[in-house]
Every structure is written in structure tokens, then in C-alpha cells.
Structure 1
Amino acid sequence: MKREWSLFAGLAVVLLVATLLAVAVPGAVSAPEDDVRRGFLQIRDVTVSHGQVGGETVPLTVETRVQHDGGPSENVSVLFRAVGSQSGLVEATRSVDVGTVEGEREVPVTANLTVPRRGGYRIQTVVYADGRRYDEGETEVGGVGTLTPEYAQTTVDFHRFAGGADAQPSVEYRIERAGEDTTTLNVSTYLTNNGDTPSEEVRLTLKARQADSNIVAAERTVRVGQIQPGTTANPSTTLTVPAEYNYYLDATLWKDGVIVTSTRAAANLDPSETISVNETRREVGLRVEDFERGDGAGGAPDRERPGTPVSEEGPGFTAALTLVALLAIALGLARRGGSRD
């Protein structure tokens, strides 16, 4: 009986102590509150943009928004990877430490990944907390190779006329002078500044390329200068070429020593056949001597000024090569005569 009373007395002491603790320290014996629950992390959104494009690489800025719920999450980090869409190779990786995240909110996390300027990429995002993977996501980025490098960007382009296949060409010509052996073409084009500010200094190269042989028969360069926003310039020059051949008129736009764009039109001077810029070439009776180097414009170039040629060249065989050939023939005849003696 005494033993039972001792057990009851001990139980009473325990209950008394628990009651005193509950009064003195509220919550000491209560269930855990909501703020000590395990935190939950989830990827909500991923956006990708590019920075200044280089010749070989492109910096991609990746931002992901991570949703957090529950109790505090410690040692949170986000891993970013850029994987080549075709090769499957990891081209760039970066891990960003976020630290401790508390409360119900979205946390933006940003990383920069520099990738080669080619193809497309899968951007993978993985969220960790205390070394444990909570969530992952992926987004696709295509056309990275089509991005224009910063050094080649310009608001100036060849004007594109409406009308599809029957549209007016961006490069056109007229016969300025027709001789027995040569024809002088006045070649012009249309350059439009599609930007909101004056363009950079640009220059234009115009070439007459014989359609079947690909020989450049004449070439001149025109300094265009600045073009005001929303306006079109109409630079022109003359090209003198051998008569009765068909030519491609190649126009190339340059900015600071870099080709930024080009276009082509056809010039049909052969009355027996015509060409277009999309047709297949075929062999013809080509006389290479017709394309010996000349001044390309029937005279000396003007001094440099906007809209006028600053340099010119013509392709083909030079007088020096002809002289070397004549000397070689003479030397061979002299040796033959000496051997007979």
C-alpha cells in the first residue's frame, strides 16, 4: 500500500512540475508551430536574354524565380547549365549561392552564361537546399548563331521593294556608253537607314562579276557617309566591262572594315541569252583576254567625296604578266638557236 502511495505521489509531482512549466513557459510542452516546418522550394519561371554579342561567343543572362513556402530553408543554391541542343555537351555552368530563405515569397536568382555563338541551347536550372535537390527546370534557346555581332550591327540596309519575285531590284543599272569592245554601266543602289539616329560612316563596294566564269570584270568603292534616320540614299558609280557578256552586279556594304550586308542583281549584256540571280551557271565560249585589267570606269576616279568612288580595281591578266610571257618565249628561241649552232 505504501508503495502504491509512493507511485501516486511521484505522478502528482510530475504533473505539478508540468503545470508549473506550462504556466511559466508558454508553449514549452505544446506541439511545434508552423514556422519550424521544413521549407519547400519550387522553380516558377525562367527567362533568358543576351548581352553584347561577340564574334565567337554570346553572354546569356538567365533569371529564375524560386517560390519558397514553409519554414526557413538554409544553404539554398541554384545551379545553371547551358547544354548544346545538337551536341548534348555542357558549354557553360554556374552555381549561385542564395543563403537562407524564409517566409512565403518568390526569390529572383540571376546568372550569366557565356556560350559559343552557334546553334541552340537547353538552359537547365536546379535548386538545392542543404545539398538536397528540390526542383529543376529547363528552357530552350534557339538561333544563337544568327545573332549579329556588335561590331557588324548597323541600322542601314539595302532597301527591299515589295512585289516578291517581280519586285524592283535593290541594285539597278543603265547603259551609259556602249562601245565595240566595252560597255560602261551606271550602277546604283538604295540604302535605307531604319534606325532613329544618323547612321555610322558606311561605304559601298560594287563589282561586275562575269556570270559563267565568276571573273570580276570591274570594281569600284563608293563612300556613302552618314544616312539620316528614316531616309534612303542612292549612291551610284560607273563600271566599264567587256561587251556582250552577262554579269552579276554584287553590292557589298562595309562599316569600319567589316561587311555588314550584301545583295546581287543581274546585268544581261549578251543579246543571245539572259541570266537571273537564282539560275544555275553553265559553260560558254569565254575569252579570258576580254577581262584584262582596266580602269573599270573608263577613266581616272574622282577624288573622294560622299557618293563618289574612292578606289577602283579590275581583275584579269596584267601587262607585267604579258611581258614575262614574251621574255620567256624569246629566251626559249635564243636557246634553241644556240643549240643548233
Structure 2
Amino acid sequence: MNIGFTTPGHERIGDGPAAGILLDDVCRDFGDKQAVSHVTLEINKGEFFSLLGPSGCGKTTTLRMLSGLEYPTSGSITLDNEEITDVPANKRSVHTVFQNYALFPHMTVAENIAYGLKNRGLDKKEIRVRVGEMLDLVELRGQENVSPGSLSGGMQQRVALARALVLKPKALLLDEPLGALDLRLRQHMQTVLRQIHREVGITFVYVTHDQGEAFAMSDRIGVMRSGKLLQVATPEDLYRKPVNEFVAQFLGSSTRLGGIVTEVVSNGRYAIKLPGSGIECECAGAAGMGEGDRIVAVIRPESIRVHTAGTAEDGKDMVGLDAAVDSVTFMGSHYRTILRNGESVILAHIPSNAAPVKAGDNLHASWNVRDMWAAPAEKEA
């Protein structure tokens, strides 16, 4: 289907634009509070990019500055090599889809989609063609003459997407658009959004506090906290190579063991000591740490193996400790198992078809040092 956008490989298939976005040292102050603090970020053309972080971290304010609903206190914003820092929202070639779809209840689905085109003065034939393209894109053909209020939440979200995309924006901004949907529908809409992104090929900037949602759809993710952009990377690198303890704990469950760097072997590789567990080993970690720095060793639960206490698993580069089972929770595909040894807390995912364990069992938890990552520890208050 040729709808005048750009394909995911960035080949032009029509006269529609593609966007690259650059935020250069952007700050946004509200009185004496800095909601966004010195954010520099480049979003590639045609990328599905997500801003991820807890409530109040500055991600929505950043999106609003991209849309023109807020202006930076300092810094600059560039869209497709054109500075738009002070350009009003209605003059920017971006459109936003919110959690509240804001559809017009007195209009049909087709009339909602056509609304912006009519305001631009396009002729009826072109409007009809472009609305039809959008109905096909979001798979709502046959629903064009119904009221949006009669549709499910997922279908209403598709109408909102079509209404934004029909205007052929350079970038589509999405502010937690799936937050009002139930889990099953939200997961389905993640697939729909990814498919639509591949179809139109333009830049998507997505805001969410849900790690799973960001992982499911994004090419890259930027993690924010307290107005600062902490790390930008692919989902895989964020999960396996967090830049600090906060990113490690925010992006999924993990075992985090406190320790120190005893030697810098090379930039990004360290000898570490974990006093609480008695483990001393060498592993990879975040660049830039020095001897004596406090760290957390991060091990994801799928990397931890458990077996009979008092035994050591054969194999090179394996480390671990004996620990008692504190709790076991059935999660369908696995048992979420928490083990303790003094202050050391181990989280393991034991396959549900493995031999069952129960609270109080004494086991040995082990993992390969290749599956461990050293990250700077949170600074003590």
C-alpha cells in the first residue's frame, strides 16, 4: 500500500517525510523545579523510540516539548534538520496520540479521521482516498460509518492513530496510549502498533512507565529519572548492561549483590568482591568505574541455576552460594523462587516442569560470571 510515508528501510514510497529528532541540552523548569534537566538525545529517522521511567521522571514533559505543548527553558529541538524549539504546536509536522483518545462522539469513524484533512481544505476525492487508506492500515474497513463510542477501546485507539497518521506527520508522538486498556488488549495493541510503524516507516516516540511495553515495541529506549536521561540503548543492552543500579532494578527483576571494585582489569572489565556472599571474581561492567568504587553485581533470574546444597556445579567460571528458599510463587512457565543467605537475596526462575522446591529447602544457587554485570551502586543518602 502506498500511503506516502517511508518504508522501514527508509526508501521513499511517496511524498511523505521522514523525521530525525535532536534534543540538544534541553531543560524545562517549572518555578524552582527542573522537570527536564540537560537532556541531549538523537532519535533516528524511522525509529520506534520509547522514553521509559517512573511517574514524574520528565518523560511526558519531554514529549510535550517535542509536540509544542511546552517550550524548553533552555536548549534546542530540531526536527528533520529544522529547528522547532519555539515553533507553535499547530505549525509542527508532528501529531500526538494520548491515553484519552479525544474522539468526536457526534462524528462517525470516517469523519473523525477526515477532520484534520477538511481543516486543511483538501478536496473531497483526496479526503476519501486518504481516509480509505487509513481504514485499511488500522484494519477498520467496514466501521467507517459507525460512532466511535460503539467501538471497543482498542478500536477507538486505532481511530485515534488513523486520525493522526492521515495528516502524514514527520513524527508520531504517543503518550501512554495503551494505559486505559486491559492487559490482553494492551498486548494485542502493542503488536498492532509495531505493525503500523513498520507499514508507515515514520518516527514514533512513545512514552511509557511499563518496561514490558517498551521492550515489546522499541528499537531503542531512553530511561529517565528525576528529569535526567540516564541511558539510551537497545532493549537487550539495557537489560543486560544497565548503566547503574537504578536502571538495573527498573528494567526487570534481578539479583543485585553489593560489593566493591578491587581492580580495573580494563575499561569495562573488573575484578570485584561481594562481601555478603563471599564471592570474588572478574566480570564485565559499566565503563568508567575505578578501584574501590561501590557496585552491585546484577544477575537476571533466568541465568541462575539451583541444585542440591553443598554441591558445586562443574564448569568454568561458575560462582554461587548456598541459600535457603524463602518463597516460591507459581508463574505458569516457571516458579519465581527467592532464596536468602544472610543479607544476600537471590531470585531464580525455576522451570515449572523441574523438580519442585518449597520454602525452607536448602539449595545452592550458581551462575556463570559471563551472565553477571557490575554497575555503580546507588549513592547512599
Which TM class, normalised by the smaller chain length?
Answer: under 0.3
Tell which structure's C-alpha radius of gyration is larger.
1
Greater RCO (CA < 8 Å, at least 6 residues apart): 2
Q: Considering fraction of residues, name the structure with more strand.
A: 1
Q: Considering fraction of residues, name the structure with more helix.
A: 2
